[in-house]
Amino acid sequence: MGSLVERKKKEIRDRIIAVAGELFNQQGFENTTMDQIADKAVVARKTLYNYFPFKEAIADEYVRSIAKDTAQETLEILSNLPDTRSRLIAAINKRYDWLELNPEICSIALMYRMKIMLQEPNYKFEPSGTQSLIMDILRTSQEMGEINADISVERVFGFIDYMRTVTVLDWLKDNTRVNLREETVQLVDLVLYGAFIR
């Protein structure tokens, strides 16, 4: 019985996210109201607020759902790439493809996450699809002896994730001054090879 209830909750939650995503894409985040989302998702307003207290929370979950889909698509590409460097660059750049087409919603989701992290320092977000993919690449590379096993994968991942966030924030401020593809190569090279001249 419990699994049926959980399945129903997930179905409602997924429907809310999908409907909100459609509305955000059609009319923009600011022009989309919680009432519109509730109506189109065919849920009571109170139910909507039980699942998501803020419109920004829905936007964040929508962006996360896209990241999971993107990560799944990227997995197929990665198996054909020769090394850790090319796999990391491909995984990050694949995510940036969607970011470049949807800066408004990505900005809103990122600001929401940062706000939550500041207000609730112990809050743990579920890793996004891209984050999970990067962790998997790093673990596999460490197991294969491509990267140093003395450094924790979590620490390397944390550095990459932090620097990705800084890069995205810079790009969102002024996308004419930041080339996401070039920044990705520089970030991956810095992580894998350090700052020494080779």
Token pair in block for residue 110:
């990122």
**86-125: per-residue pLDDT in tens?**
999 999 999 999 999 999 999 999 999 999 989 988 888 8
- With tokens 């620490």, the residue in question is 155
User: CA–CA separation, 168 vs 107, rounded Å?
Assistant: 9
**44-81: per-residue pLDDT in tens?**
999 999 999 999 999 999 999 999 888 888 888 898 89
Write the CA distances from 164 to 2, 54, 77, 131, integer angstroms. Answer: 39, 25, 21, 11
Mean pLDDT score of the chain: 92
Q: Name the band, by pLDDT with cuts 50, 70 and 90, for residue 1.
A: low
DSSP state of 124: -
Q: Is this model's pTM higher than 0.75 or not?
A: yes
Domains identified in the chain and CATH numbers: 1-53 (1.10.10.60), 55-193 (1.10.357.10)
